Amino acid sequence: MEPILFYGIPQGCSFGSIVALEWLGEPYRLCRIDMMTELGGAYGRIHPARKTPALMLEDGRIVTESAAILLNIAARGEGRKLGFAPGSADFDRLNQALSFLTTTFFASFGPLWRAYKQQDGAETRQLLQNVGADDVAKAHQQLDAMLEGREWLAGPHKTVADAYFAGIGRWANYHRIVDQRAFPNVWRLIEALDHDPAVIFARAIEAGEPAMSAGGFRGHVPLADVLPKLAA
Ligand SMILES: N[C@@H](CCC(=O)N[C@@H](CS)C(=O)NCC(=O)O)C(=O)O
């Protein structure tokens, strides 16, 4: 059995794991989870905290947390150079970039997602949006500094850190909160990723449109069909 990635819509951070799987080029399947309606119920058997992404491995074990999933994908494809050998300076750089993105950068959007879900309370929503705008701008500033003099986040070629950024780097524009062109190194990376076939593929997958895989995608599988495959 191929690994199965559980990805969330809309605007999931799991987008990055789809991009990484495409870059890897090995067989995989996808299971689509609508985060507005499907996080409850049976999905809790895949991810008890009811978050996406999750990756089911060949033996039925589940890996959660984007960083762990992405490093699992990177470790599969030495030839694809999505990661680096442990002990090297590039390996440290990759872990540093991934840690920053999955903590500080991801968390800076927390208030904005709270505001997004908030149905009423215009005042609270405004407060959350103000806090979010400030946090997101600071996180972009930090990322811009990290990218100084570098084409990609973690070294001389694109890695799973860039794949992850392709997903969460969209959020500033989605929330219309920060003009990313004010951060030239970040903007350069966004533009470089924008036309990448794997990013185009992941966008089409999220939108539910026909998507052209580089070769690894073996189709969607419904959640009900995956549950019996779970490791005991
Ligand atoms: N630390 C986790 C965060 C996972 C997470 O919060 N995922 C979001 C989507 S980006 C989610 O599932 N949200 C649904 C919810 O909280 O209701 C990771 O990096 O995988």
Contacts (Cβ under 8 Å, ≥6 apart) of 17: 5, 7, 53, 55, 66, 69, 70, 73, 163, 164, 167
> What separation in Å is there between the alpha carbon of 149 and the centre of ligand 1?
31
* Ligand 1 atom closest to 11 (CA): 10
pLDDT digits (tens, 9 = 90+) for 52-80: 999 999 999 999 999 999 999 999 977 77
Q: Is 35 in the pocket of ligand 1 (CB under 6 A)?
A: yes
**3-state DSSP call for residue 28?**
strand
* Nearest Cα residue to 114 out of 99, 126, 105: 126
More confident residue, 119 or 100: 100
Flag whether pLDDT at 81 surpasses 90: no
pLDDT of residue 83: 93
- Separation CA 216–CA 204 (nearest Å): 15
DSSP bridge partners of 63:
55
Closest protein CA for atom 2 of ligand 1:
65
pLDDT of residue 209: 97
Q: Is 180 in the pocket of ligand 1 (CB under 6 A)?
A: no
Which of 51, 63, 71, 105 to mutate to test ligand 1, by most ligand atoms within 8 A of the CB atom? 51
Which amino acid belongs to residue 76? R
What's the whole-number mean pLDDT along residues 142-168?
Answer: 96
DSSP bridge partners of 29:
4
Length of the chain: 232
pLDDT of residue 155: 79
Q: Is 52 in the pocket of ligand 1 (CB under 6 A)?
A: yes
- Separation CA 227–CA 6 (nearest Å): 12
* Ligand 1 atom closest to 13 (CA): 10
The answer to whether residues 199 and 52 touch, using CB atoms and an 8 Å cutoff, is no
What's the whole-number mean pLDDT along residues 207-220?
Answer: 97
Please name the residue ranges forming H helices in the chain: 15-24, 66-76, 89-100, 106-108, 110-117, 122-146, 160-168, 171-174, 184-194, 197-207, 223-226
Q: What is the average pLDDT value for the chain, to the nearest integer?
A: 95
Flag whether pLDDT at 217 surpasses 80: yes
Closest protein CA for atom 9 of ligand 1:
12
Contacts (Cβ under 8 Å, ≥6 apart) of 45: 227, 230
What's the whole-number mean pLDDT along residues 177-195?
Answer: 97
- Separation CA 174–CA 13 (nearest Å): 13
Flag whether pLDDT at 185 surpasses 90: yes
Q: Is 169 in the pocket of ligand 1 (CB under 6 A)?
A: no
Flag whether pLDDT at 201 surpasses 90: yes
- Separation CA 195–CA 190 (nearest Å): 9
Closest protein CA for atom 20 of ligand 1:
65
Q: Is 155 in the pocket of ligand 1 (CB under 6 A)?
A: no
Instruction: Beginning with the edge strand found earlier in the chain, give each strand of the sheet holding 54-56 in spatial order.
Output: 62-64, 54-56, 4-9, 28-34, 217-220
